[in-house]
Amino acid sequence: MQITHPETTGTKVPRFGRIDIGLDVVREGIRKSTEWLFSQQHADGYWYGELEADVMLEADYIYMHKLLGTGDPGKMERCVNEILRHQNLDGGWSLYPGGPSNINYGVKSYHALKLMGWSQDDPVLVRARTWILANGGVVECNTFTKIYLCAFGQYDYDAVPAIPPEIILFPNWFYFNIYEISSWSRGILVPLSITYAKKPFKKLPAEQGIEELFVGGRENADLHLRWDRSKLISWRNFFLFWNRVAQWYERIHIRPLRKRAIKKAENWMLARFEKSDGLGAIYPAILNSIVALRHLGYSLDDPQLIRAMDEFEKLGIDNPEGEPGYPTPTFRMQPCYSPVWDTAQVLSTLGDVGIDRKDARMVLAADWLLSKEVRQKGDWAEKVKNVEAGGWYFEFNNEFYPDVDDTGEVLLALKAVDHPRERQQTDATDRAIAWVFAMQCKNGGWAAFDKDNTKTIFQYIPFADHNAMLDPPTVDITGRILEMLAAYGYTRRDPRVEKAVQFILKEQESDGSWFGRWGVNYLYGTFLVLRGLESMGYWNHEPAVQQATEWVRMVQNTDGGWGETCGTYDDSLTRGVGPSTPSQTAWALLALLAGGDNRSDSVAKGVKWLSDRQHDDGSWDELVPGRNGESYYTGTGFPRVFYLGYHLYKQYFPLLALSTYQRSMEKQAAEA
């Protein structure tokens, strides 16, 4: 029987039946992928792929413009097409392609279609209404959805949790101040509290209402604000009591601090418009800020409102001629931009491939990243004192909200370039590393935007039912930071590094995997942790690593790839289960390679899976069969709440996996 070597051409079956991919095949795949990525580079040096999300964004787009009497009717009609594109067979709409229908998305989409003139007798709405009523009706929606409905008179303000703007007056030393909740919730809630205080109301024609979505009538609208009689003494009942107090003050108009609170909330918003792509540079915060400004009395031609509206509209992707896989004209919104993230990921990957460190395209990308360094203090500084501003954010501009994950990846990317202005790059990286260490949480891990944002009591607040109030430290970010610190010469002899390693080891699941907070899901967390441990010299024969790599091999699909659905956040027993995708297959391969496995059948089959599915132009796709051109979502916004489809994940992660595999095999051959 013939025995092949990695250097040979093509795919052969050697002794013991193992499939080998010749390194020439891998090198060709790397070459094509590299050329494809360079072809996507913007003239200014950055990379940016679409960030896809669910139909809630299109429904809210219609909601906002119908409320304010603004917007392009053509775009809103194309929004309708996008909503229809994603409707499930059961009549509802999902958080992610192929997922179960969600009540908030069902109600929002249903109402958006009615606002656009659709009859409730239309078969689309009949199917949607049937599903909504079978799942509890509109009362099962979260607070954000209900407040939007209140503005059109479709829900009662006294039947939704109070979001009084006075919360912004709580001092930082007070346990319940706004800097103890996540940065994204902060950006959403501050303008929403203004809307709650102003209580806008726009009367709709009866045919545009949603009375038919109440099970048992509106008298049940306050269902989720009733006492929990099964356990009278509980945090839920504690907060429900204070919610009733707040609502009572609202009804009798005893609000001595209201004017001051609204003014502070307004100024807080306006300050964060500066050097930003809108408030927080994220869709819901920008939308809420527009509605808040309008009801504060800002005219449509006020510069602040024009600016906010412009940033909001920029998030739109208009396809009046349709697109591949779905020829119907559509208009969809992105939740935000991702250029710093995408550029850093691409640049660090190209460095791993071995692109010349002085290549003009690499230097141009590094220049662009350096221009995005944060140089003023933001919300993070409310808790982290006496440290110079540094780091990077996710979007084009978002000065108040740098994050640890982006900063770690940018630092890895800058390591791949010999910049002609070495001093500038060194100063920026020194500041960023100092900032990252200052952001380390008490337990040794790192969170995204804030330090020690872990007060679980906030999740019992009635208006916190969007399930995204906290920003706790996570193993995926911590693993990335360990990899970055190793690249800059840090070792486990540094007590801060060792504390991070111990945090990771304590968080390992019983089956050997690690939870992925910012990517779907355990494949993502496990790959980043193992790369971080490997970079810090953690021995790959340790039980933690061996157990992790065995888990990765165990969940490999029969086709040779790996996949995992967003549903694993709802049911952890399904971890590692899902259709194979290029991005998740790449994560699994990177996990195995970081764990010291480059010769198992699992690795060989995974590399072959990627190679076989690469297109002639060097790219990959992650299309969901039979879903109108939809792609799988492998990015996580908020577990169980909001998921993302990063259009470049399926390009740079497979390239990184192939490059890492090639280097590993070449090193092994050289040592033989």
DSSP state of 635: E
Q: Could you count the other beta carbons within 10 Å of the beta carbon of residue 307?
A: 14
The DSSP bridge pattern shows strands 51-52 and 316-319 to be unpaired
Residue 362 near residue 415 (C-beta atoms within 8 A): no
Residue 41's alpha-carbon distances to 36, 226, 511, in angstroms, are 9, 55, 40
Nearest to 62 by CA among 333, 386, 304, 307: 333
In single-letter form, the type of residue at position 194 comes to I
Residue 21 near residue 5 (C-beta atoms within 8 A): no
Residue 192 near residue 288 (C-beta atoms within 8 A): yes
DSSP state of 459: G
213/155 Cα distance (integer angstroms): 11
Select which of 342, 405, 450, 476 is catalytic: 405
**Which tokens belong to 500?**
């991070």
Residue 42 near residue 48 (C-beta atoms within 8 A): yes
Residue 268 near residue 190 (C-beta atoms within 8 A): yes
DSSP state of 623: B
Whether 405 sits among the annotated catalytic residues: the reply is: yes
Residue 592 near residue 552 (C-beta atoms within 8 A): yes
Task: Write out the DSSP string of 88-120.
Answer: -TTS--BSSTTSPB-HHHHHHHHHHHHHTT--T
**Which tokens belong to 576?**
């590692």
At residue 27, the 3 state secondary structure works out as helix
| Backbone phi and psi for residue 600, each to the nearest 5 degrees, phi listed first | -80, 160
- For the CA atoms of 654, 657, 659, 663, the dihedral, rounded to the nearest 10 degrees, stands at -170
Active site positions, annotated = 405
